[in-house]
Amino acid sequence: MSQENQRYYIFVSWKNGRDATKIHEELVNAEGEHALSLSTVRRWVAKFKDGETQVDDRPRSGRPREAVTQEKIAKVQELITNDPHITTQILEDEIGISHDRIVYILHNELNLHKVCAKWIPHKLSADHKKKRVEISKQLLEVLEKGYNNIITGDETWMYFFTVSSKESNKVWLEKGENRPQIVRTAQNSKKRMFCFFYTVDGVIARIVVEKGRTVNGELYRKQILPEVFSNFMGEIL
Protein backbone atom coordinates (compact mmCIF):
# COMPACT_ATOMS: atom_id res chain seq x y z
CA MET A 1 0.00 0.00 0.00
CA SER A 2 1.06 3.56 -0.56
CA GLN A 3 1.56 5.79 2.47
CA GLU A 4 -1.74 7.49 1.69
CA ASN A 5 -3.53 4.11 1.71
CA GLN A 6 -1.88 3.24 5.01
CA ARG A 7 -3.04 6.53 6.52
CA TYR A 8 -6.60 5.74 5.40
CA TYR A 9 -6.27 2.32 7.05
CA ILE A 10 -5.11 4.04 10.25
CA PHE A 11 -8.16 6.32 10.10
CA VAL A 12 -10.62 3.43 9.60
CA SER A 13 -8.96 1.28 12.26
CA TRP A 14 -9.00 4.15 14.75
CA LYS A 15 -12.69 4.74 14.04
CA ASN A 16 -13.25 1.05 14.82
CA GLY A 17 -11.64 1.43 18.24
CA ARG A 18 -8.10 0.07 17.67
CA ASP A 19 -5.18 1.83 19.36
CA ALA A 20 -1.98 2.95 17.63
CA THR A 21 0.04 -0.09 18.72
CA LYS A 22 -2.50 -2.57 17.37
CA ILE A 23 -2.84 -0.65 14.10
CA HIS A 24 0.94 -0.63 13.67
CA GLU A 25 1.13 -4.41 14.24
CA GLU A 26 -1.49 -4.98 11.54
CA LEU A 27 0.36 -2.73 9.09
CA VAL A 28 3.64 -4.55 9.75
CA ASN A 29 1.93 -7.91 9.18
CA ALA A 30 0.57 -6.66 5.87
CA GLU A 31 3.39 -4.44 4.58
CA GLY A 32 6.52 -5.61 6.37
CA GLU A 33 9.38 -3.13 6.20
CA HIS A 34 7.28 -0.79 4.06
CA ALA A 35 4.83 -0.19 6.91
CA LEU A 36 4.68 3.23 8.54
CA SER A 37 6.59 3.49 11.82
CA LEU A 38 4.82 3.31 15.18
CA SER A 39 5.62 6.95 15.87
CA THR A 40 3.99 7.95 12.55
CA VAL A 41 0.90 5.85 13.34
CA ARG A 42 0.62 7.52 16.75
CA ARG A 43 1.00 10.96 15.17
CA TRP A 44 -1.82 10.30 12.71
CA VAL A 45 -4.07 8.84 15.40
CA ALA A 46 -3.50 12.02 17.41
CA LYS A 47 -4.43 14.10 14.34
CA PHE A 48 -7.65 12.16 13.85
CA LYS A 49 -8.53 12.64 17.50
CA ASP A 50 -8.09 16.38 16.99
CA GLY A 51 -10.59 16.33 14.11
CA GLU A 52 -8.30 15.74 11.12
CA THR A 53 -10.05 13.82 8.33
CA GLN A 54 -7.77 14.33 5.32
CA VAL A 55 -5.29 11.51 4.68
CA ASP A 56 -3.84 12.51 1.30
CA ASP A 57 -0.60 14.48 0.91
CA ARG A 58 -1.20 18.22 0.99
CA PRO A 59 0.66 20.54 -1.36
CA ARG A 60 4.02 21.68 0.02
CA SER A 61 6.65 24.09 -1.16
CA GLY A 62 9.71 22.60 -2.84
CA ARG A 63 9.93 19.65 -5.16
CA PRO A 64 6.65 17.96 -6.12
CA ARG A 65 5.74 14.54 -4.78
CA GLU A 66 5.77 13.22 -8.33
CA ALA A 67 9.60 13.43 -8.27
CA VAL A 68 9.67 9.68 -7.55
CA THR A 69 8.41 7.98 -10.69
CA GLN A 70 9.01 4.57 -12.20
CA GLU A 71 11.05 6.23 -14.91
CA LYS A 72 13.37 7.88 -12.38
CA ILE A 73 13.64 4.69 -10.34
CA ALA A 74 14.67 2.81 -13.47
CA LYS A 75 17.21 5.54 -14.29
CA VAL A 76 18.77 5.27 -10.81
CA GLN A 77 18.96 1.49 -11.24
CA GLU A 78 20.64 1.88 -14.62
CA LEU A 79 23.23 4.35 -13.35
CA ILE A 80 24.13 2.13 -10.39
CA THR A 81 24.36 -0.95 -12.61
CA ASN A 82 26.79 0.91 -14.87
CA ASP A 83 28.80 2.30 -11.95
CA PRO A 84 28.32 0.65 -8.51
CA HIS A 85 30.62 3.31 -6.97
CA ILE A 86 28.41 6.22 -8.06
CA THR A 87 27.65 8.82 -5.37
CA THR A 88 24.28 10.23 -4.38
CA GLN A 89 25.49 13.67 -5.49
CA ILE A 90 26.07 12.44 -9.04
CA LEU A 91 22.67 10.71 -9.00
CA GLU A 92 21.04 13.99 -7.95
CA ASP A 93 22.78 15.86 -10.78
CA GLU A 94 22.00 13.22 -13.40
CA ILE A 95 18.32 12.75 -12.54
CA GLY A 96 17.48 16.22 -11.26
CA ILE A 97 15.72 15.39 -7.98
CA SER A 98 16.58 16.11 -4.36
CA HIS A 99 18.95 14.21 -2.11
CA ASP A 100 16.05 12.98 0.03
CA ARG A 101 14.25 11.54 -3.01
CA ILE A 102 17.45 9.83 -4.20
CA VAL A 103 17.93 8.26 -0.77
CA TYR A 104 14.29 7.18 -0.73
CA ILE A 105 14.65 5.47 -4.12
CA LEU A 106 17.88 3.73 -3.11
CA HIS A 107 16.66 2.40 0.22
CA ASN A 108 12.90 2.01 -0.20
CA GLU A 109 12.41 1.30 -3.91
CA LEU A 110 15.63 -0.52 -4.84
CA ASN A 111 16.46 -1.92 -1.39
CA LEU A 112 20.13 -0.96 -1.69
CA HIS A 113 22.75 -0.03 0.87
CA LYS A 114 26.33 1.13 0.37
CA VAL A 115 29.25 -0.80 1.86
CA CYS A 116 33.01 -0.71 1.63
CA ALA A 117 34.87 -3.27 -0.44
CA LYS A 118 36.52 -5.97 1.69
CA TRP A 119 40.30 -5.49 1.91
CA ILE A 120 42.38 -8.62 1.30
CA PRO A 121 46.20 -8.90 1.04
CA HIS A 122 45.99 -10.81 -2.24
CA LYS A 123 43.76 -13.24 -4.03
CA LEU A 124 44.59 -16.92 -3.67
CA SER A 125 44.18 -19.50 -6.38
CA ALA A 126 42.68 -22.92 -5.66
CA ASP A 127 46.20 -24.42 -5.58
CA HIS A 128 47.38 -21.79 -3.09
CA LYS A 129 44.46 -22.51 -0.78
CA LYS A 130 45.03 -26.26 -1.00
CA LYS A 131 48.73 -25.85 -0.19
CA ARG A 132 47.91 -23.69 2.85
CA VAL A 133 45.52 -26.32 4.18
CA GLU A 134 48.19 -29.04 3.77
CA ILE A 135 50.85 -26.99 5.58
CA SER A 136 48.42 -26.11 8.38
CA LYS A 137 47.63 -29.79 8.89
CA GLN A 138 51.35 -30.57 9.06
CA LEU A 139 51.87 -27.88 11.70
CA LEU A 140 48.94 -29.17 13.73
CA GLU A 141 50.47 -32.65 13.69
CA VAL A 142 53.72 -31.23 15.04
CA LEU A 143 51.87 -29.35 17.80
CA GLU A 144 49.98 -32.49 18.78
CA LYS A 145 53.33 -34.22 19.36
CA GLY A 146 54.17 -31.67 22.04
CA TYR A 147 56.33 -29.20 20.13
CA ASN A 148 54.99 -25.71 20.89
CA ASN A 149 57.93 -23.57 19.82
CA ILE A 150 57.33 -23.63 16.09
CA ILE A 151 58.70 -20.55 14.33
CA THR A 152 56.83 -19.39 11.28
CA GLY A 153 57.28 -16.36 9.09
CA ASP A 154 56.47 -14.64 5.87
CA GLU A 155 57.60 -11.81 3.64
CA THR A 156 55.40 -8.89 2.70
CA TRP A 157 55.71 -5.64 0.81
CA MET A 158 55.08 -2.52 2.91
CA TYR A 159 54.00 0.45 0.81
CA PHE A 160 55.07 4.02 1.56
CA PHE A 161 51.67 5.32 0.49
CA THR A 162 48.19 4.02 1.13
CA VAL A 163 45.73 3.07 -1.59
CA SER A 164 42.43 4.83 -2.27
CA SER A 165 40.15 5.44 0.71
CA LYS A 166 37.35 3.16 1.84
CA GLU A 167 34.84 5.87 0.96
CA SER A 168 35.79 5.80 -2.71
CA ASN A 169 35.45 2.00 -2.78
CA LYS A 170 31.88 1.90 -1.46
CA VAL A 171 29.33 0.25 -3.76
CA TRP A 172 25.56 -0.12 -3.73
CA LEU A 173 24.35 -3.64 -2.95
CA GLU A 174 21.06 -5.33 -2.29
CA LYS A 175 20.46 -6.97 1.07
CA GLY A 176 22.14 -10.36 1.22
CA GLU A 177 24.69 -9.62 -1.52
CA ASN A 178 28.33 -10.31 -0.67
CA ARG A 179 30.74 -7.42 -0.49
CA PRO A 180 33.14 -7.20 -3.45
CA GLN A 181 36.84 -7.78 -2.87
CA ILE A 182 39.59 -5.38 -3.85
CA VAL A 183 43.28 -6.21 -3.93
CA ARG A 184 45.42 -3.88 -1.86
CA THR A 185 48.11 -3.02 -4.36
CA ALA A 186 49.63 0.20 -5.56
CA GLN A 187 51.89 -0.44 -8.50
CA ASN A 188 53.37 3.07 -8.56
CA SER A 189 53.99 3.39 -4.81
CA LYS A 190 57.38 3.07 -3.17
CA LYS A 191 57.73 -0.08 -1.12
CA ARG A 192 60.14 -2.17 0.96
CA MET A 193 60.18 -5.87 1.72
CA PHE A 194 59.77 -6.91 5.37
CA CYS A 195 60.19 -10.37 6.88
CA PHE A 196 58.24 -11.21 10.03
CA PHE A 197 58.81 -14.28 12.20
CA TYR A 198 56.81 -15.32 15.23
CA THR A 199 55.94 -18.14 17.61
CA VAL A 200 52.83 -18.78 19.70
CA ASP A 201 54.22 -16.18 22.13
CA GLY A 202 54.42 -13.38 19.56
CA VAL A 203 56.78 -11.76 17.06
CA ILE A 204 60.45 -12.59 17.54
CA ALA A 205 61.98 -10.90 14.47
CA ARG A 206 61.20 -8.03 12.11
CA ILE A 207 63.72 -7.83 9.30
CA VAL A 208 63.86 -5.12 6.63
CA VAL A 209 65.30 -6.49 3.42
CA GLU A 210 67.95 -4.29 1.89
CA LYS A 211 66.70 -2.28 -1.11
CA GLY A 212 67.33 -4.13 -4.36
CA ARG A 213 68.16 -7.40 -2.59
CA THR A 214 66.43 -10.57 -3.80
CA VAL A 215 64.84 -12.77 -1.14
CA ASN A 216 66.29 -16.21 -1.86
CA GLY A 217 67.90 -19.14 -0.11
CA GLU A 218 71.25 -17.40 0.23
CA LEU A 219 69.69 -14.40 2.01
CA TYR A 220 67.86 -16.73 4.38
CA ARG A 221 71.03 -18.72 5.11
CA LYS A 222 73.38 -15.75 5.64
CA GLN A 223 71.15 -13.11 7.24
CA ILE A 224 67.55 -13.97 7.99
CA LEU A 225 67.77 -17.35 9.73
CA PRO A 226 70.81 -16.42 11.91
CA GLU A 227 68.99 -13.30 13.13
CA VAL A 228 65.77 -15.20 13.78
CA PHE A 229 67.63 -17.95 15.67
CA SER A 230 69.57 -15.38 17.69
CA ASN A 231 66.40 -13.54 18.72
CA PHE A 232 64.64 -16.80 19.54
CA MET A 233 67.47 -18.08 21.73
CA GLY A 234 67.68 -14.69 23.42
CA GLU A 235 64.02 -14.92 24.42
CA ILE A 236 64.48 -18.46 25.77
CA LEU A 237 67.53 -17.48 27.82
- 150-195 pLDDT tens trace: 788 888 877 776 666 666 777 777 777 787 776 665 556 678 889 9
117 vs 122: CA distance, rounded Å: 14
Residue 64, pLDDT score: 47
- Name the DSSP letter for residue 37: P
Degrees (nearest 5) of the Cα angle 156, 157, 160? 145
pTM score of the predicted model? 0.34
210: left (phi over 0), alpha (psi -120 to 50) or beta: beta
- Residues in the chain predicted with pLDDT less than 70, given as ranges, are 57-67, 119, 121-122, 147-148, 161-167, 182-189, 235-237
- At 189, which amino acid appears? S
Degrees (nearest 5) of the Cα angle 190, 226, 195? 25
Residue 79, pLDDT score: 92
